[in-house]
Amino acid sequence: MTTPLRGNRDFRLLWLSGLFAVLGGQMTALALPLLVLKETGSAVQAGAVGTVSVGAVLITMLPGGVMADRVERRRLMRLCDVGSLTVVTALATAVWFGHAPMPLVLLVAAAGAVISSVYAPAVFGLMRAVVPADQMGTATARLQARSQTARLVGPLVGGALFGIHPALPFAAEALGLLLSTVCVALVRTRSRARAKAGAVFSRRELLAGLTFLWGLPYLRTVLLVFGLGMNFAFGALTFTALTAFSDGGTSGIGGGFVITCVSAGALAGALIAPRISPERHSRLLIVATCWTCVTAAGVMAWAGTPLVAGLMCALCMCLSTVASIGFLSKLLVVTPEDRVGRVQSAAGFLSSMVQPFGPLAGGALLTAFGARGAFALTGCVLALSALVVTLAPSARAEPAPPREAVPADAPEPVAGPARAAGDGPVPATGPDHAPAVAKRAVPGD
């Protein structure tokens, strides 16, 4: 009999570990650009921090997946914990003593991004050993709900702490990382390291995840259309709404309402998902999400008010979160155990590489065609994506879980209480947010 998630000790520890890490990361995601503005007075330098972080994530994401498949994952997570704690503590100390030089800030941003690229695929691989396949959808939904709650609370707490003293948000993150480290150390489950001769970062190893995804038509189509195309178009849609309803920058009420609705929609989706078993209806949910986004763009072009835009964006984000949970749960289950790290990194790479360009495209369309034209043209891009996932034969054939053979000389993994034979978070697919600065990625985030 499968142990319920509430009785799964190792899942509870991973959930708590992620809560501490995500909450701390969200506090410093706001505090770090404020710190740069305070130190330099330059908005350009404040923006450079985010550019360095996103660039470092994209560059190191595929190598991070290789590392997660070559090193025992719990051990790798602990090394990442120590690295994260070290860089954040160094920054907190520098700010406390009154001066944080720009090179140190950029170093912390880059180091946090690199650590994230290694940690994320490692924890996804360990999740597969901790949670049975039939509970993966519920587990992923609970992780999403945790992360979305932290996204709502973290920036408010970080801003308040920064107002008291600029070092406090970074000290709070350091404390969170320390507690996260303790939780990971208490996890009993181990995942078997993949022993293989040859260069670790060979071309074949780096591209193994992309090759696996490309070889399965369903995964290929969904990631290219729903993960890549929809991320780009929805990013343009929300940025257009944020700008159009901020009255040219004179008021932040309308735009702030839209962004709040996006976060609330994501949280609602994560809370709803466990009740409907999204992994069983992933294709239907993906199609419904795409056409809802098309409808939202049309409604926003016709009735351009912050209230309507906020409600439509919340609905889109709610459906997208549920659909992503279903798809990502299925991805974890159908991926062979020895490739989880590389496949997760490859999926995350495909889904994230266009996210920075969505707001740029939205701004360009808004400048050239006005709010109504920008919403309409974005809706056309969304409609094209919706047609592909609806009509393409490759989007209908969902893959089956692999029948994995364990080598005779492979060491037996040390299993936690919920470990089951053949057990199959998650990379971002569908409308989502770009990674925060110097923030460690965790499942569901």
From 376, 249, 368, 381, select the one nearest 303 (Cα to Cα): 376
Looking at residue 432, its pLDDT comes to 42
Phi and psi, residue 397, nearest 5°: -95, 90
Could you list the pLDDT tens digit for every one of the 445 residues in the chain? Answer: 567 788 889 999 998 988 898 888 888 877 877 788 787 777 667 767 777 777 888 888 888 888 888 888 888 888 888 888 898 999 999 999 988 888 888 888 888 888 888 888 888 888 888 888 888 888 888 888 888 888 778 887 888 888 899 899 999 999 999 999 999 999 988 876 665 545 667 888 888 888 988 888 888 888 888 888 888 888 888 888 877 776 655 555 676 788 778 888 988 998 888 888 887 888 899 999 999 999 999 999 887 788 888 899 999 999 999 998 888 888 888 888 778 888 888 888 887 777 777 887 888 888 889 888 999 999 999 999 899 989 988 888 777 666 543 433 333 333 333 322 222 333 344 444 333 333 444 445 5
pLDDT of residue 196: 57
Same domain, 150 and 219: no
350 and 215 assigned to the same domain: yes
CA distance 78 to 34: 30
Final residue before a domain boundary, out of 161, 188, 215: 188
Instruction: Give yes or no: residues 173 and 95 share one domain.
Output: yes
Same-domain status, 5 and 153:
yes
Q: Would you say residue 197 lies in a domain?
A: no
Find, among 295, 306, 300, 433, the residue nearest to 374 by Cα.
Answer: 300
Same domain, 224 and 369: yes
Ordered DSSP codes for 135-147: GHHHHHHHHHHHH
pLDDT of amino acid 386? 92
Which residue range forms the structural domain that includes residue 30?
1-188
Q: How many CB atoms lie within 10 A of CB 42?
A: 12
Residue 415 burial class via C-beta count within 10 angstroms: exposed 0-12, middle 13-18, buried 19 and up: middle
Total length of the chain? 445
pLDDT value at position 25? 84
On whether both 260 and 181 belong to a single domain, the answer is no
Considering the domain architecture, whether residues 1 and 119 belong to the same structural domain is answered as yes
What's the CA gap between 220 and 226, in Å, rounded? 10
As given in the structure block, the two tokens for residue 383 are: 């409609």
Neighbours of 37 (CB within 10 A): 13
Within 8 A by CB and 6+ apart from 186, the residues are 13
CA gap 23, 152 in Å, rounded: 9
Residue carrying the six token digits 């409600």? 311
Q: With contact defined as beta carbons under 8 Å apart, do 279 and 417 qualify?
A: no
What is the reported pLDDT for 286?
A: 92
Q: Which amino acid is at 355?
A: Q
Q: State whether 218 and 335 are in the same domain.
A: yes
Residues 252 and 182 both lie in one domain = no
CA within 13 Å, CB half, 153: 12
Amino acid at 313: C
Position 348 scores a pLDDT of 84
Residue of 268, 243, 267, 18 lying closest to 123 (CA atoms): 18
Q: Which residues contact 100 (CB under 8 A, 6 or more apart)?
A: 35, 39, 91, 94
Q: Which residue type occupies 273?
A: A
Residue 198's pLDDT is what?
Answer: 55
Please give the tally of structural domains in the chain.
Answer: 2
Residue from 192, 186, 128, 212 nearest 443 by CA: 128
Residue 423 backbone dihedrals phi, psi, to 5 degrees: -60, 135
267 located within any domain: yes
Q: Say whether both 160 and 270 belong to one domain.
A: no
User: By the 8 A CB rule, do 283 and 326 touch?
Assistant: no
CATH of the domain at 430: 1.20.1250.20
pTM over 0.75, yes/no: no
Choose the final residue of a domain: 157, 188, 219: 188
Answer for the pair 339, 331: CB distance below 8 angstroms, yes or no. Answer: no
